Chains A and B, each alone.
Chain A
Amino acid sequence: MKHKLAAVALLTSLLSTAAWAGPEIVSGPGAEPECFAPWSADTKYMQWPAKEGPYKIAIVNGFVGNTWRIQMIKTAKAYAEDPAIKDKIAEFKVVSTGTDAPAQLGAIEDFINQGYDAIVTIAVAPDGFDRVIRLADKNNVVLVPFDNVLDTDAVMQVNEDQLAMGRTWAEFVLKELKAAGVTGGKVLEVRGLPGNSVDRDRSQGINEVFAADGGNWEMISVVGNWDDGTTQKVVADAIAVHGQFVAVVAQGGSNGVVQALKDAGHPWVPIAGESENGFRKAIAEYRDAGLKGISIGQSPGLVAIAMKAAISALEGNPMPQLISVPLPVADYTTLEDGKNFWSDLPDNFFTVNEFPPCGVNISGPAIMAKDESDVN
């Protein structure tokens, strides 16, 4: 019994210290609402005690090795040198831990121990960060997950609304199908990396809209891991098995979708996809042949907004707990070479990088064109 009491006492003391340190829940509105837009009307606001700058900021990335992540890291480095925030940063470090939860948690804890003020991270799993959140709060460190966020409302997070992205894709495809007089058929859904919150939310959004529609849609799902090569293979397989689809909704690896359709001689149908340059090139080239495409991107530039949000929080401004960055949407009617895609740049490059309302004006092509020494 005594043990039980001691455990309870410890737990309460832990809980109460957690309540003393860390952010306070306050009422809105927050700073720069045009940039840090709250996710919904119910989003609460958080406020940390103001700290004197300049700040030590670390980025703890997980997986590294695809174009998106490389573009993200380059954007982070370039943004840290941006005159608007350069003077507010005393130290800036970027590490990638690979897809390894203990290593990522360890890196975050190490930076907390080193006395960093803010840690920006792409979580390798939507869960399991309780310990580092507790430690961050205890030490008044601002932890900002973005892109792959956590299933918690205890930290400030930055993302695009993945559910809305899924819905927008599906709504666009339905609109184009209706316009072409198609009321039913097989729709191919290409999913992302399994076990991931982004994949889950996007897929949920897509399927919700199709299920709510009156049409006779049969959803066929394949897993493309957001990777061009894998996607091309699974789409080719799906075409071989099912013959023909009325539309394709792909979460990523959109270049692979286009290539597989081309190789199989599949007629052009409405396609929803990510923001790869190659996909946008293909839409521009084949839009008159029937490739009615929509391209919405998860921007690598999100990292800059997460950094900006971290600094704003350290300055003591009230911040929305969940910050929604507007979806960068382009479709076959709005694509323009040199503006939202680049015919002279590689296919696997991610087109959306800038967020003017936030003062993030680092254009993707400019970053990728520079070599490392220039970005430094």
Chain B
Amino acid sequence: MMGRLIAQNRAFAGALALFAALFVTYNLLHPRGFSSAVFVQNANEAVAIAFVAMAQTVPVLMRGLDLSVGAVMTLSACVASYLLTGSGLEISMGILAVLATGTAFGLMNGLIVVHGRLQPIIATLATGAIAIGLALILRPQPGGNVDGDLSWAMTNTVWDLADTYGIAGGGEAWWIRPFADIPMPLVLLFGVALLVWLPFKRTVTGRTVYAIGSAEGAAYVSGLPINRAKLAAFTLAGFFSACAGLYLALQTSTGNADTVQAGAYTLNSIAAVVLGGTALAGGIGGAIASIIGALILRVISFYFRILDIEPLLQPLIEGLVLLLAVSAGAWRTFAVKNRLELFR
């Protein structure tokens, strides 16, 4: 049973093993060892890129690329920097509005791709620029205000959340004890993955996304809802990007229309998707695998803080490690039965 599960998800299992090895070694080498503070810090650093990687996964699964994910994240963060303040109700509405902003932007991407019949890569290159433009109008200078309690609670452990809002006996109730040291950012990340991604994957629309990536023609003649799946894929990408933006705003308490950062996140999201084992050719992989990919990407850079590596050589070494990790995933191609598959 277990063996079959691994055999069917070889790329994912490989990514998970690589991540586990890197993360355990990092903690062994860390001068303070594994601790809640280090875990929280690691988690905080990884969440935004993990959400953006999830966003990128959905279009990649149908053999497209979304070059707007970083920009939509930035736009959502700028919106959040205006709305995450005030009473509990106002903040809740603000969160919904932020998520709606990104989701609507994703839907627009989908409409342009489906009805405008543009290649996703070109369509999203253009809409990404629009998102950054809007973000710059909202925040010509970095700034804004985010509720301090919310920001503190969401960027620490479950205990801090309970303590901040006085729930579960201020974090002392017996039933919350086992979870007390889990970082909130991971709860949010895997919560969204389990509540949004997994159910979506099981729907006909979700399966159609995979089918489009494997063979769009075959999916079409099988009568699968191609257009609906494409719309859903980009909308979902927008939603995940908005989650990233929301978290970024909570983490920094501000909004910043940082063009360079948006571009870096888009590129890193593609790297994370590949590291997680999702094929750029589409049809294979998933958003949870991309979370692992994003975590690998982050852990590699953690090493520069505990090892003595010449600063100007760090980017080179990071690139080499990345190349090795990605190449490991490419072993798959040697097992392909029909070589023509590689040229499709």
Instruction: Give complex CA distance A77, B309 in Å.
Output: 12
Instruction: Give complex CA distance A77, B313 in Å.
Output: 14
Partner of A101, one of B141, B248, B308, B311: B248
Interface size range of chain A in the complex: 35 or more
Tell me the smallest distance from the CB of A48 to a CB of chain B, in Å: 21
Q: Using Cβ atoms and an 8 Å threshold, which residues of chain B touch A61? A: 311
**Chain B, Cβ-Cβ closest to A15:** B148
B311–A6 touching, CB < 8 Å: no
Query: Is A374 an interface residue when CB atoms closer than 8 A count as contact?
Result: no
B251–A131 touching, CB < 8 Å: yes
Tell me the smallest distance from the CB of A192 to a CB of chain B, in Å: 12
A3–B167 touching, CB < 8 Å: yes
Instruction: Give complex CA distance A10, B260 in Å.
Output: 37
**Chain B, Cβ-Cβ closest to A64:** B315
A113–B166 touching, CB < 8 Å: no
Chain B 132-189 interface residues, beta-carbon cutoff 8 Å to A = 136, 139-144, 148-149, 151-152, 155, 163-167, 170
Q: Using Cβ atoms and an 8 Å threshold, which residues of chain B touch A93? A: 305, 308
Q: Using Cβ atoms and an 8 Å threshold, which residues of chain A touch B38? A: 110, 113
Question: A7-B166, A128-B253 known; A99 and B264 CB under 8 Å?
Answer: yes
- Chain A 349-361, CB-CB to B under 8 Å as 1, else 0, gives 0000000000000
Query: Is A126 an interface residue when CB atoms closer than 8 A count as contact?
Result: yes
B44–A195 touching, CB < 8 Å: no
Query: Is A125 an interface residue when CB atoms closer than 8 A count as contact?
Result: yes
**Chain B, Cβ-Cβ closest to A77:** B311
A64, A113, A125: which has the most chain B beta carbons within 10 Å?
A: A113
- Chain B 298-337, CB-CB to A under 8 Å as 1, else 0, gives 1001101110101110110000000000000000000000
Instruction: Give complex CA distance A66, B177 in Å.
Output: 49
Tell me the smallest distance from the CB of B78 to a CB of chain A, in Å: 11
Tell me the smallest distance from the CB of A281 to a CB of chain B, in Å: 26
A10–B163 touching, CB < 8 Å: yes
Partner of B305, one of A6, A73, A110, A128: A110
A125–B258 touching, CB < 8 Å: yes
Partner of B148, one of A11, A77, A103: A11
Question: A125-B142, A195-B259 known; A102 and B251 CB under 8 Å?
Answer: yes
Instruction: Give complex CA distance A194, B148 in Å.
Output: 27
**Chain B, Cβ-Cβ closest to A126:** B142
B254–A125 touching, CB < 8 Å: yes
Tell me the smallest distance from the CB of B80 to a CB of chain A, in Å: 12
A115–B32 touching, CB < 8 Å: yes
Q: Using Cβ atoms and an 8 Å threshold, which residues of chain A touch B259? A: 194-195
- Chain A 239-280, CB-CB to B under 8 Å as 1, else 0, gives 000000000000000000000000000000000000000000
Question: A7-B149, A105-B45, A106-B41 known; A127 and B305 CB under 8 Å?
Answer: no
A194–B136 touching, CB < 8 Å: yes
Instruction: Give complex CA distance A114, B35 in Å.
Output: 11
Query: Is A2 an interface residue when CB atoms closer than 8 A count as contact?
Result: yes
Question: A10-B163, A113-B32 known; A73 and B311 CB under 8 Å?
Answer: yes
Partner of B143, one of A127, A129, A130: A127
Question: A113-B32, A125-B142 known; A94 and B136 CB under 8 Å?
Answer: no
Instruction: Give complex CA distance A59, B285 in Å.
Output: 38
Instruction: Give complex CA distance A3, B306 in Å.
Output: 41
Partner of B264, one of A10, A100, A114, A372: A100
Tell me the smallest distance from the CB of A15 to a CB of chain B, in Å: 10
Q: Using Cβ atoms and an 8 Å threshold, which residues of chain B touch A125? A: 142, 252, 254, 256, 258
Chain A 61-97 interface residues, beta-carbon cutoff 8 Å to B = 61, 63-65, 70, 73-74, 77, 93-97
Question: A7-B164, A11-B148, A113-B35 known; A130 and B253 CB under 8 Å?
Answer: yes
Tell me the smallest distance from the CB of B23 to a CB of chain A, in Å: 14
A95–B314 touching, CB < 8 Å: yes
Tell me the smallest distance from the CB of A67 to a CB of chain B, in Å: 12
Query: Is A200 an interface residue when CB atoms closer than 8 A count as contact?
Result: yes
A105–B44 touching, CB < 8 Å: yes
Tell me the smallest distance from the CB of B163 to a CB of chain A, in Å: 6
A128–B166 touching, CB < 8 Å: no
Instruction: Give complex CA distance A99, B262 in Å.
Output: 9
A105–B261 touching, CB < 8 Å: no
**Chain A, Cβ-Cβ closest to B256:** A125
Q: Using Cβ atoms and an 8 Å threshold, which residues of chain A touch B67? A: none
Instruction: Give complex CA distance A65, B264 in Å.
Output: 14
Tell me the smallest distance from the CB of A302 to a CB of chain B, in Å: 17
Query: Is B214 an interface residue when CB atoms closer than 8 A count as contact?
Result: no
Question: A77-B311, A100-B264, A113-B41 known; A127 and B166 CB under 8 Å?
Answer: no
Q: A109-B45, A195-B141 given. 17 additional CB < 8 A pairs? A: A7-B164, A10-B164, A58-B305, A63-B260, A70-B312, A95-B305, A101-B261, A102-B48, A105-B45, A109-B44, A110-B305, A127-B256, A128-B254, A193-B260, A194-B257, A195-B256, A376-B310
Binding site for B on A (CB under 8 A): 2-3, 5-7, 10-11, 14, 58-59, 61, 63-65, 70, 73-74, 77, 93-103, 105-107, 109-111, 113-115, 124-131, 151, 193-195, 200, 372, 376
Subset of 18 A-B contacts with CB under 8 Å: A11-B148, A14-B152, A77-B311, A95-B301, A96-B311, A99-B261, A100-B264, A102-B44, A102-B46, A106-B45, A107-B45, A124-B261, A125-B256, A128-B252, A128-B254, A131-B152, A193-B260, A195-B139
Binding site for A on B (CB under 8 A): 30-32, 35, 37-38, 41-42, 44-49, 136, 139-144, 148-149, 151-152, 155, 163-167, 170, 248, 251-254, 256-261, 264-265, 298, 301-302, 304-306, 308, 310-312, 314-315
Which are the 10 A-B pairs with shortest beta-carbon distances? A128-B252, A106-B45, A6-B166, A94-B311, A99-B260, A127-B254, A3-B166, A109-B41, A128-B254, A127-B142
